[in-house]
Structure 1
Amino acid sequence: MSVLSGKNILLGVTAGIAAYKTAYLVRFFVKAEANVKVVMTPASKDFVTPLTLSTLSNNPVVSTFFEKEEENEQWNSHVDLGLWANYMVIAPATANTLSKMANGVCDNLLLATYLSAKCKVYFAPAMDLDMYQHPATKRSIEKLQKFGNVFIPPSSGELASGLFGEGRMEEPENIVSFIENDIVKGLPLYNKKVVITAGPTYEAIDPVRFIGNHSSGKMGFEIAKTAANLGAQVYLVTGPSNEKITQSLIKRIDVVSAEEMYNEVHKYYSSADIAILSAAVADYKPSTVATTKIKKTEDSMSIELVKTNDILASLGKIKTTQFLVGFALETNNELENAKAKLKKKNLDLIVLNSLQDKGAGFKKETNKVTIIDKFEKISEFSLKSKAEVAKDIFNEILNRIYA
């Protein structure tokens, strides 16, 4: 999943031959799961049709303040468009439009929307070589950058005039990548490594049976998604789970047993900035594993169990600069047990949830948590979706890391 997923992108199209590329640009934004609206200058419709961009964006395309539909006149509000957008992208940006943007000229709907936009604005110039190299164009670009707009440099290549050099609008897929990378760099966990555990572990009894639990991994996967959306490089070590994840910033490492999870977590922990252990790891495993399926012969059977390695405690012992977060799923004496675990395992934060709370626990879409830090400051939260709980957890972490 892209960092653009769910974001509102307003694409401004101006009258250059590169306008034909905007069909591909819209398609790439939609593929990144962004919501796209297009505003065109009137002259740009000579290069690409509104119908094409409307069909690809699944939204009406606008180009004038007023549009007449049969007997009704529709007002296109530049203010509403500017407020709707999370990001505005002007591509292609002609020399004419760059000059108007730099000098506050407002003679069409696109320019009025640009001047109304409260969001970050990206612009990708497209023009002939001599126009791009002209001091007036360079001055426009410099002024726009000083205003806080983000310049997407053109590439070099064969131009419509037959000349070869700078001035080609950057390719659509590269524009999307540029914007994604720029957004990630501005996120609070950019360049941070986060290790997360999720799901259950299965401890083998024989080749077909195991000791396990009801964890689905939903909570851990939501935590991983939130970390990636905050710009982190995420290492998600997960037991058997049907949950899916697609973010490019998440490396998924599948394991089965507690021992496998222990080994994988320790591979990544030394270079981690944050570790969040939300997996429901088995506390015990069979002392021996049968090499063949155990046959049903007696009315009862005993299995000797031995302790598994305590992953969370082992990380607490070797912790240096990592911010370490554990989970406590309790059924009684919740606060006392969570506080004891927090101290014993040298944690910075513990997330407590109780099976006594309706709507919380395994295989549910919701959770209700209480978060306790190492100073025993307690923050209680109402029942929420696990996606919202993950955001609450990271808000608590960030408030302490950047306090």
Structure 2
Amino acid sequence: MQARRVAVIGTGYVGLTTGACLAALGHRVVCADADAGKVERLRRAEVDIMEPRLPELVEEGLAAGRLTFVQDTPAAVREAEIVFLCLPTPMGSGGAADLAAVEAVADEIRAVLPHGCAVVNKSTVPVGTSERVAALLGRPDVSVVSNPEFLREGRAVQDFMHPDRLVVGSADEDAARLVADLYAGLDAPTLLMDAAGAELTKYAANFFLAMKLSFANNLATLCEALGADIDDVTRGIGHDPRIGGAFLQPGPGWGGSCLPKDTHALLTVCEQAGVDFPLLRATIETNLKHQQTLVERVVAGCGQPDGSLRGVRLALFGLTFKAGTSDLRDSPALAVARALRERGAELYAYDPALSETRPDLSDLLTLTATPEEAAGGAAACLVLTEWPHFHDLDWEAVAGRLASPVVHDFRNFLDAERLRRAGLTCRAVGRPVAVAAG
């Protein structure tokens, strides 16, 4: 593998993981970010992101001289052979992806890109963005490549170093191979295609995963109505290799930094292309309806006669969108919390990743230092994130603090028999209720 000079613009989950891992593979990487404070922290190997192995890779890259951090984006790309755009593409008006950050950086680097370099869209972007970036750059001597990421938060480094596939798309086959060669040595099939195919592959993958989760949640509701156990059913179908067992775990709905924005963005792409995709719409609608079903379950258990939760205290265990990350973006836990708050509930929450005060959550809930503190006087406890800490919790102590011995395990994560022996009634999703031991 030939070591390349690489620039990475943006140091979020994707950018920082990309930069640190490419440096670990032997490339010389300059990462640029507009946040001066973040750049200074990264120069000291201080990583704000909760991601296993990432701080160590940053420290090793800095020590080896293969990884540097700058605030000056044009300076970062002047000597680069390959420039990665790892920029936020949040949900914009009407659900479409907001490409403002990508367009702004393209404008900023246009004049300083070296002759013959490749600009790589690593961010999740709509089909046609490679052509759009090429037009914005106005540089026929510069190729634009789509190389979507398939990184899971909490496993980003693992996924980068051990990918199940590498997707690289461009109208310029030489540029596509140049980018693909960056990953030489990684044991994964490399799929070369055009840019449109690569861009759509990322959206299609996330839509399919969201669809499986919506299916599992809807199936769990059916299991409850029919007296079946969702674990038995998903285990039964998951052994079929045409289906597989991944993403069949029911929960409080799907969320996070990718699935909500990408499904809505794909829906916008469909509308612009004049293609009706009912399955995509149903996937989104099912997710919202499932969360409302869970809220109604809580209301039925401890709500007021008028259907409100006015004056009812509830304990929430977990707020991040999944365990192993401090990310709250489009967290299903927060979606459920907001729906409960709209009904008048008083929410007290504990999450091991949120040890500091969060002013952005102060209107919604009160953060506590311990789970027992959150449980104090609560009419019910809701487990919304599958932190391992909760599995091994002193549930007898929690039971002693709750005003009513009810736990809603919306992650199907807890040992229901363990809770039952602790004097708690455990209500999971799609499972029989485990009534407190008498």
Structure 1 length-normalised TM: 0.28
Q: Larger helix proportion, structure 1 or 2?
A: 2
Structure 2 length-normalised TM: 0.26
